Amino acid sequence: MLLAIWHDRETGWQHVSELARISDLRSKGDLVWAEADVKDLTDADVALIAEEFSLHELAVEDAVTLRQRPKFEKFADHTFIVLHQLNEEDGQLEPAQLSMFVGDHYVLVLHGGATRTLEEARRRLKEDGGEDVRPAWLLYTILDTVVDDYQGIADDLEQEIEDLEELTLESLDMPTRARMSIVNDGSMQRRLYSAKQRISRLRRYGQPAARLVQDLSSDEDGKLIDPKLAPRFADVKDHALRIGDQATSVESLTDALLDLRRGQQATALNEVTKKLTGWAAIIAVPTLISGLYGMNFHLYPDLGPRDGFWFAFTAMIVVSVGLYVYFKRRHWL
């Protein structure tokens, strides 16, 4: 139900096998890290966890409702923070909520499938956590892990858009038929719109992270963040701001690439229209001549049955060839 570990100054991190021990460890001043996936919790489990950690009922309700926006709220006995891990599924980014309760001697995380972030955060804690580990350090580790994950997503998106841009620009120098095949490539269109969706999700969940860290850093009480950790939180905020700028830049490049492809499609359609128009004009002239000579009245010149036929046939050939040469010189055909 609940994975819990506590930090001992001598032995380091130790697993807590019984949930009832958590309140005892907290009362002794030991640091507790606990986490659970809300999908695996019953209402009774949630009530027991809330009782052990003395959580506010409104914060608990938000934690088990996996549709919250990134936010930072303060209650009497703890701080409530919501962030999201972004998972790529079928070419899109889907959020997995991380609801964190930070108290004097504990950090509790109730999440909705954000195991990747928590595993990485625990790994960093074992490597970087010193003897004086406090809740603010745990919070910093989770925030830094989430923002680093956002950075990886932003870098992948930037590289993907640059590859698509290079492919599109190379097609401008290709022969018409090869260029048409790339312009009409549906897979490239899907990749572009998939990238647009991922950029939108990254901005929706990534940009509030910078404001959230700013709110944490400017906390008037100063109880949550130790002044020694202030530079680390400032670094996370700066990193999150850079990701927001990077996402804006990638989105602008994506929009420019979409406009370029729309221009290519319009040019290709214009080429097709010119070809159809040229051939229609070529076919229309002999059709007109043959139609006139097929009507039941006397036509001039009166050259006799056979000479009239050859005159009409020659006129068709000459006019059609003349139109073909004309359209060819104007690059319509």
Q: Which helix (H) or strand (E) holds 80?
A: strand 79-89
> From CA 72, how far away is CA 57, in angstroms rounded?
16
pLDDT for the residue 219 = 65
Buried b (16+ CB within 10 A) or exposed e, 81-94: bbbbbbbeeeeebe
DSSP assigned state of 10: T
Strand partners, 8: 12
pLDDT for the residue 177 = 58
Does domain 268-329 fall into CATH 1.20.58?
A: yes
pLDDT for the residue 6 = 64
CA nearest neighbour of 302 among 291, 290, 292, 311: 311
The tokens describing 151, both together, are: 């950075």
Query: Of the CATH numbers 3.40.50.720, 3.10.20.30, 3.30.460.20, 3.40.640.10, which one belongs to the domain with range 3-267?
Result: 3.30.460.20
pLDDT for the residue 296 = 45
Task: Report the SS3 class of residue 290.
Answer: helix
Length of the chain: 333
Domain ranges (residues) in the chain:
3-267, 268-329
Q: Which amino acid is at 135?
A: P
> From CA 112, how far away is CA 96, in angstroms rounded?
5
> CA angle 214-215-219, nearest 5°?
115
| pTM beyond cutoff 0.95 | no
DSSP assigned state of 300: S
pLDDT for the residue 100 = 94
Q: Inter-axis angle of helices 305-329 and 230-293, to 10 degrees? A: 160
**Residue pair 113/40 in contact by the 8 Å Cβ criterion:** no
Q: Which segments in the chain show pLDDT lower than 50?
A: 296-297, 300
Could you tell me the CA-to-CA distances from 118 to 42, 145, 205, 235 in Å, in that order?
21, 8, 18, 20
In a 10 Å sphere around its CB, with 0-12 CB exposed, 13-18 middle and 19+ buried, how is residue 74 labelled?
middle
The tokens describing 85, both together, are: 């891990």
